[in-house]
Each structure stands twice: as structure tokens, then as C-alpha cells.
A and B are shown apart, each in its own frame.
Chain A
Amino acid sequence: MIQFEITIENTGEIFRCATEVNVLEAMEKSLCRGIPVGCRNGGCGACKARVVEGRYITKKMNRAVVSADEEAQGYVLACKTYPQGDLKLNAVGDKARGGIEHGAPSFSFDFTAKTQVDLRYKER
């Protein structure tokens, strides 16, 4: 079985991943935690990452969380990414994305810290 080396640059974690295993599954099995785990099925966008080096193939991903332009620039969902060589990538997804623009408020029930209008949602 051919295994490649995957580096999560945010955390420096390195794990191995076979060509027929998706990057997120290999990460979970290696007990690494650099990429947030959501639905594991290409829908929620939690495991969104940008590949900065290496060859890979992807399976179909929710267009609401990875646009065609982003896909062309190397953005992927780790759960739908299969390595064709060693990969270096950065996790970029907020766990709360689900189609929200990057940098938008994430999920929170922290309603007590600020005024009512602002405290509905905690800014990341």
C-alpha cells in the first residue's frame, strides 16, 4: 500500500495517508487534531483546507462551502481529498461555516458578555 506524508502546517502535525483513504480519515486514525472534524462527508465545510504543496484528487464537495474558484486555488475538504503524493496543507475552515463567508460569526451561545444586539453571536 502506497502511503504519503501529510503535513498540517498550522500545527506541524505529520501523518501518513494511503491513496485510497481520505486525508481527514487518516488524520483521525493518527490521533492528529489539526483539521476540525465535522460531517466527514463533504457537506459542512468544517475540514476545509488549502493545499500548498503536493498532488491530490478530490471527490464531489458541497459547492456552498468550496466554490469553483476556491477549488481551482487549492481549497479542498480534507474528507474528500485523496493524496497522490506528499501533501502540505493549512486548515482554513471555521467549524461553523456551513456556507457562511470566511470570517463571519461562528456559532455561540455566549449571550452574556455584551449588549443584546452584539451578544447574539460571538465573533471569531
Chain B
Amino acid sequence: MALTGVLRPGHVAIRVLEMAPALKHYTEVLGLIETARDDKNKRVFLKAWDEHDHHSVVLREADEAGMDYLGWRVDSPATLKKLAADIEKSGLCTDFKWIPAGEHPKTGERFRFTIPTGHVMELYAEKEKVGNCCGVGGENLNPDPWPDNLRGISPTRFDHSLLYGDDLDGTVKLFREVLGFGIAEQVMAGPSKELMIGAFLSCSNKAHDVAFIRQPVKGKFHHASFELGSWEKVLRAADILSRTHTSIDIGPTRHGITRGETVYFFDPSGNRNEVFAGGYIYYPDKPPITWTDEELGPGIFYHDRKLNERFLSVFT
């Protein structure tokens, strides 16, 4: 197969202040599907409808909002072992730990590590396929295009996260040189534009699988994003957000960076969510796009053309 190594961001674990309103938001407004519950550790596992894997979002009730960790699906147990060794050898990461199979339901062992920007990441090779409920007369057999009984915004998948941290150079080096990602777009600043302040990284054909912004913090979470099929569905999502009195951050609008059409909003614990459509196909040989700090306004919100303080400065 052509797409190897790290395949996709497979799960994001988000801390919520109270589970009941969080679950209502993620299932009824966003429209994810609950697949498992772990009462002992106050966790609920969810997936988007078109994902085949058992879960892609983990909610955990805690006293602090933010992200616990981001998990990456790799192509095989052999790749998991190899990348784990490469990460340890790189000297870029800390706090290595193997999490035994079954700690997440229906999931194999996970290799956990902390990256230079302070975020906890995981790699794993196995998670049970539970299907997308579209098959007729059998899973994945003669499927319908979408299943019945979708609720709320109902995105197809968890797509990417944007994270804030200080050592952007170290994290970008790790993702490019150890994990095999490419840079789709970068934001450069300083008098001669030599300082990278934003990196949009892809391990696939997506315009980004993860993005990092340089800020003087460790391990902060800007948003988790979910994919919609069209601009009209972004508009419909905003209708649902308003109807349900969900706290909207900004949108619907378009990004210059990645070209996505987007609306941002907050879960009941203040963690930012995005639903988006569009973008482009990324290939590893695609020349990176560079944005300069002066043009970051239209880079982030193409129509407003100016920086939005809340969008930039609010995170968990």
C-alpha cells in the first residue's frame, strides 16, 4: 500500500468539567455516537458515523478542561514497535510509556510519549472495526451512502487538532523526521521570515492531520475538528449551533490556510470544536505553502482579513 506508517489521528481525549452536559453536546449537538462507557475512570467513548474504528473521541470528567492526549493509528504492530524505538532514540521526547491493550476498549497496546511542545501523543496499531452502519445485508456490503438516525451536525469523522506550545521547532522536527509527516503549510515571522510560528502537518492526503502554533505554553489545546461533506453542511451546522444556544466562536467563514470552510464553537467546558468542509488533496511532493505574519489575517479568516483576538488567545 502507498499510505504507510502513521495513518491518521485516531483518537482525541478531551477533559470535560461535567460529563452530562458534555455528552449532550457531543452526541445531540455535534452528533457523535456513543460506543462505550468506563464509569470507573469517568470516561465515555464516541465515534463519528463514517468512522469504522470503535472510537475517535474520549471524554473524561476532570477538574481541568483541555486535551489529555492525541492518538495516532499506525499501519501495523511492526510499525508501532519501530516508531516507538525511533521516538525514544530521537532524543526529542520524554515520558515514554506502554499502555496495555484493553485500557481503551477494543484497542491494542498504545505507546505514549510527550513531545517538545508538551502535548501527550500515542501511537497504536489495533482498534476494532465496528463499521459505519451503511451496509445492506452485511457490514460493508452494497452500502447506502449514509445511515439512518443521525443526530445534530453529524460530521463524518474526527479530522485533526490544532495545538499550542513553545518548542515548535522540536515538535516539527519530530513529526517530519521521525513520524514521516510533510509540511503542507507554514506561517513564518520575523524580519527575514526565518521564524516558524505555525505548522500544518499531514501524514496522509489531507491538508492537515495536526497543526501547531508557537506560543509560550506547554500542552495547550486550541481545537478538535470534524469533517463535513460540503459548505452547505457547514451552514446547517451553524443553524444547529444557534438553535441549541451553543457558544459560537466564529463563522461560518473560510480559512486562507488549507482553504477550509469552517465554523468554530465551544463545548460546555470551553474546549473549542470545529466543523469544516473543503480543503485540498495533499501529496508528499506538494511544495509547502508559506504565509507571512503580515498576511496572517486573511490566512486565518479569509473574508475578515484581520486577526481575531478571541480565536487566537482563547484555548484550554
Contacts and interface: CB of A to CB of B under 8 A. Distances in A.
Contacts of B175: none
Nearest to B270: A43
B301 to A, nearest CB: 14
Nearest to B164: A98
Interface residues of A, number: 31
B154 interface: no
> Which secondary structure dominates chain B's binding surface?
loop
Interface in A67-111: 94-96, 98-100, 104-107, 109, 111
Contacts of A96: 312-314
Contacts of B65: 42-44, 62, 64
A39 B195 contact: no
Contact of B296 (A99, A100, A109): A109
B145 interface: no
A11 B216 CA distance: 29
Given A63-B64, A120-B214, A39 B266 contact: yes
Contacts of B310: 37-38, 46, 95
A99 B17 CA distance: 15
B266 A43 contact: yes
B266 A41 contact: yes
Nearest to B21: A41
Nearest to B214: A120
Contacts of A112: 189-191, 293
Given A98-B217, A112-B190, A39 B17 contact: no
Interface in B180-216: 189-191, 195, 197, 214-216
Contacts of A121: 215-216
Interface of B: 17-18, 63-66, 164, 189-191, 195, 197, 214-217, 220, 247, 249, 266-272, 293, 296, 307, 309-310, 312-316
